[in-house]
Structure 1
């Protein structure tokens, strides 16, 4: 999750990226050319890119022991795409193996996080900062191969690009007790247990990839994996009373051979929310195959909630049940309530909104940002085109 004005600042950040852990020396303080030369050297020697033109280079000051991040802007989006595509090469060069390149955050997000750090430092709780904010993403991956191949490589790049603390995945296609093992993350899954004996691959399944860095500050436990298509985890802070309860869900389409009774699905989810609501902050996300059209997820004139922008006017039965569920538990979908309203599924049969992140009404104001990224934009950002056609389920964070 990001800040509410992502769309406004997105164009400003489109050609920008940040470099972390680039060694600093005092000559940079009064001479930015030194920093520029370091960045150009990294691009040439670390990424093997000779023709990148930089528009601006600026190192942020830091008072801590680590070098300040370097914010770089290229003259063109194509140049930035080349950099993002080749950044993995840094791990193979001894001089640059501890350096990371990421997309730049918006100005407002950076300032907001800096403000949090300042306040917490004054309170003597700087160590608690990282656990006050959580970045959650969700994606229907349509299968995540356990083999080292094009499928798994592309999905790992999406995971890396997201920079999420918790990355929710629907339709993992993992079988029974299969488990994803990805550097820097721990996987919690609820795989579909009952598969057709003639099936050539798994189907369904949900999971959550939790950053190991986050687990330095949190204990993570599975609250429930009782129902097919639903997984709950609880993240409990090790240093204060912050707690997050997160559910990732997958409700198959009504016409699917593996369809679930939507009324029962949402009734079970409602029971879970009532069970866990006093533990901490609750978030539910996933692919619900529910099209809600213009239906309201709140009671007009009663609930004080910001109206949402609608891009998908179509409704289906699962969408009607989903809306009733949200009203029953006083939850609002984030889709359409920020400046980034878009479809979440784009395929040959059309466009739709079926993937959501939802939070209690009172928590909508605490969301810093919400963003939907189409598969075509995502492929352009990470600079990697998968060999096989990937159905365009957008990525939400």
Structure 2
């Protein structure tokens, strides 16, 4: 096993009430934008998942823990539910602790692993509305259960609480005792530890409910402080929940007062109404962590792909013509984007949704069945072709396999493949090159991409080529050009104008193709990098512009 050391100075911790993983049949777990919003955290919790264990989300590079609430006896539907995801390389430093029910969970962030003075006890919690039948059925109030744990864990470390507490704590309401440092002048209070005089906490939600009063009182008694409306990133107490009945602040991060100096910022993320009626919230925690990276964790299997056969073109076009897809295309074309990764993710989502009208598993099953049927027919009617087909299938199956070479060897080989000692250029060359960059040498890339350029480039795409991480095939681009031409043009020109290249297009997976010689030697393989077909289409247009003639 090959290890490397990475230094990590910040820990990004997030929490999001997603209000169910499905909405009117739409599965949020399949939305690239949803995944993008959570996978850039180190530790993240999804609240109100409303799913079974089988339906729970799986994220590449994360170790999950799922808390599932049983179906309601009355409606036979699921409510509540918590899923916690910890990055794989951080999992050795995180312990999941016992809890009374499935509405909250405690994590212990070990001080030795994260390079902190004390352990941090992180609690993710969903406190259902106080008027819900579920809340009324509980034997003990969730706040009371958590308060007991706070008292227990405070003796061993610092506390960090995150979640939807369904408590409105008002604005400029103190969650600490003001000027209690004067008590140390009174006999009997010599060892008293006074509260710090903190910034007054502001909130755009000025309502103070009974639960909010209870939460403020817990903070005062336990030495905890609400971060919303108080620390860098949110000094106004931004709203976190938006419903037809109004907007409110009910999602919180709360920390031990002594932990606040280690918190770089607190953030209320952008509201995505189609994904949830709550905003995601997160904090950045200062740490001093040294991570042993297992190279195998950096390796990924190639994503699954779509099987394209003679009926796929018509099926794809039919799905593109549906009212639902046409509506999504119009929404995409009319929407303004600042982030190129979200722009590309939304377009990918439309294309893959069309492709999913006939699932990959179903297509793969059909493909395998057709091969089996062909073999059966040839076995009886044409034995020679039967053995030729078997030989061809065997060749396809083995042409990129390399059973004698471990994955970490591949990683090191391809990582070092292009390493070479480069002479440092002299200062005159560097200065001249910088000056040339400022001069306008050619203008081929200074005007926007038009329809004809895209159509011409699409016509040159070859069929039966592998798809990249976005799973989009050249055949899909060909079939969709009359439907998505404006969408392609929007994406390409956004990249051209902003100079921002999508991260997804910059990723590729390497397939080693055996050439000759001993199979255990990586140098006897030729690496083929499979990238995004849509990204290649964009590059093809630019290349045509820059080519002479």
TM range (shorter): 0.5 to 0.7
Give the direction of change, closer, same or farther, for the CA distance of 1:278–1:179 in structure 2 (3 Å limit): farther
Q: Which piece of structure 1 moves more, 159-168 or 171-180?
A: 171-180
Q: From 124, 130, 140, give the equivalent of 1:254.
A: 130
TM-aligned CA deviation for residue 251 of structure 1:
0.7
Distance of 1:149 and 1:349 partners within structure 2: 24
Tell me which residue corresponds to 1:298. Answer: 176
Tell me which residue corresponds to 2:82. Answer: 206
Distance of 1:390 and 1:135 partners within structure 2: 21
Tell me which residue corresponds to 2:240. Answer: 344
Q: What are the Cα deviations for residues 27-73 of structure 1, in whole angstroms up to 9, with x where unaligned?
A: xxxxxxxxxxxxxxxxxxxxxxxxxxxxxxxxxxxxxxxxxxxxxxx
Larger RCO of the pair (alpha carbons < 8 Å, separation 6+): 1
Q: Does residue 24 of structure 2 align to residue 152 of structure 1?
A: no
Distance of 1:135 and 1:280 partners within structure 2: 19
Q: Does residue 208 of structure 2 align to residue 315 of structure 1?
A: yes
Tell me which residue corresponds to 2:57. Answer: 180
Tell me which residue corresponds to 2:160. Answer: 283
Q: From 49, 72, 97, give the equivalent of 1:223.
A: 97
Distance of 1:200 and 1:240 partners within structure 2: 43
After TM superposition, list the pairs within 5 Å mapping 1:86-125 onto structure 2.
none
Give the direction of change, closer, same or farther, for the CA distance of 1:350–1:262 in structure 2 (3 Å limit): farther
Which structure carries more helix by proportion? 2
Distance of 2:216 and 2:107 partners within structure 1: 24
TM-aligned CA deviation for residue 178 of structure 1:
6.3
Q: From 178, 190, 193, give the equivalent of 2:67.
A: 190
Does the 8 Å CA contact 2:122/2:159 hold for their aligned counterparts? yes
Q: What are the Cα deviations for residues 306-363 of structure 1, in whole angstroms up to 9, with x where unaligned?
A: 2111211111111111111111111011100134231000121111000000100111
Give the direction of change, closer, same or farther, for the CA distance of 1:263–1:197 in structure 2 (3 Å limit): closer
TM-aligned CA deviation for residue 209 of structure 1:
1.0
TM-score (norm 2): 0.43
TM-score (norm 1): 0.58
Tell me which residue corresponds to 2:18. Answer: 141
Distance of 2:218 and 2:207 partners within structure 1: 18
Does the 8 Å CA contact 1:189/1:231 hold for their aligned counterparts? no
TM-aligned CA deviation for residue 262 of structure 1:
11
TM-aligned CA deviation for residue 177 of structure 1:
7.8
Give the direction of change, closer, same or farther, for the CA distance of 1:252–1:262 in structure 2 (3 Å limit): farther
Tell me which residue corresponds to 2:267. Answer: 371
Q: What are the Cα deviations for residues 92-119 of structure 1, in whole angstroms up to 9, with x where unaligned?
A: xxxxxxxxxxxxxxxxxxxxxxxxxxxx
Q: From 227, 233, 240, give the equivalent of 1:334.
A: 227
Q: From 235, 238, 245, give the equivalent of 2:121.
A: 245
Give the direction of change, closer, same or farther, for the CA distance of 1:272–1:231 in structure 2 (3 Å limit): same
Give the direction of change, closer, same or farther, for the CA distance of 1:267–1:198 in structure 2 (3 Å limit): closer
Distance of 2:5 and 2:156 partners within structure 1: 22
Distance of 2:252 and 2:41 partners within structure 1: 16
TM-aligned CA deviation for residue 259 of structure 1:
2.0
Q: From 40, 44, 47, give the equivalent of 1:167.
A: 44
SS of 1:369 mapped into structure 2:
strand
What is the aligned residue count?
A: 255
Q: Which runs of 5+ in 1 are unaligned?
A: 1-125, 380-388
TM-aligned CA deviation for residue 183 of structure 1:
1.4
TM-aligned CA deviation for residue 198 of structure 1:
4.9
Distance of 1:351 and 1:173 partners within structure 2: 22
Distance of 2:45 and 2:127 partners within structure 1: 14
TM-aligned CA deviation for residue 237 of structure 1:
6.0
SS of 1:364 mapped into structure 2:
helix
Tell me which residue corresponds to 2:106. Answer: 232
CA RMSD of aligned residues (A): 2.9
TM-aligned CA deviation for residue 184 of structure 1:
1.6
Distance of 1:238 and 1:202 partners within structure 2: 39
If you compute each CA radius of gyration, which structure gives the higher value, 1 or 2? 2
Q: Which runs of 5+ in 2 are unaligned?
A: 181-194, 283-549
SS of 1:286 mapped into structure 2:
strand
Give the direction of change, closer, same or farther, for the CA distance of 1:344–1:197 in structure 2 (3 Å limit): same
Distance of 2:20 and 2:69 partners within structure 1: 12
Give the direction of change, closer, same or farther, for the CA distance of 1:177–1:275 in structure 2 (3 Å limit): farther
Distance of 1:265 and 1:355 partners within structure 2: 15
